[in-house]
Amino acid sequence: MRIRIVDAFTDRPFAGNPAGVLLLDAFPDDDRLQRVALEVNHSETAFAHRLPAGGEADWALRWFTPATEVAMCGHATLATAHVLHTTGAHEGPVRFATRSGVLVATPREDGSFTLDFPTAPLTPVEAPPGIAAALGAEPCTVLDTGPNIGDLLVEVADEETVRGLSPDLGALAPHSERGIIATARAEDPARGYDYVSRCFFPNVGIDEDPVTGSAHTALAPFWSERLGRPDLVGLQASSRSGRVRTELRGGRTLLSGHAVTVIDGELLA
Residue 4, C-beta contacts closer than 8 angstroms, at least 6 positions apart: 20, 21, 22, 83, 261, 263, 264, 265
> For residues 79 and 71, is the Cβ–Cβ distance under 8 A?
no
Single-letter residue type at 229:
R
Instruction: Locate the DSSP E strands across 54-160.
Output: 59-64, 69-70, 94-98, 101-107, 113-118, 123-124, 141-144, 151-155
Among residues 167, 264, 183, 172, the alpha carbon closest in space to that of 227 is found at: 183
Q: 39, 44, 177, 187: which is the annotated catalytic residue?
A: 44
Which residues does residue 64 pair with via DSSP β-bridges, in sequence order? 45, 69
DSSP codes of every residue in 196-260: EEEEEEGGGTEEEESS-TTTHHHHHHHHHHHHT-SEEEEEE-SSS-EEEEEEEETTEEEEEE-EE
Told to judge if 44 belongs to the known catalytic residues of this protein, a careful annotator would answer yes
Which residues does residue 50 pair with via DSSP β-bridges, in sequence order? 59
Which residues does residue 256 pair with via DSSP β-bridges, in sequence order? 114, 245
Active site (catalytic) residues: 44
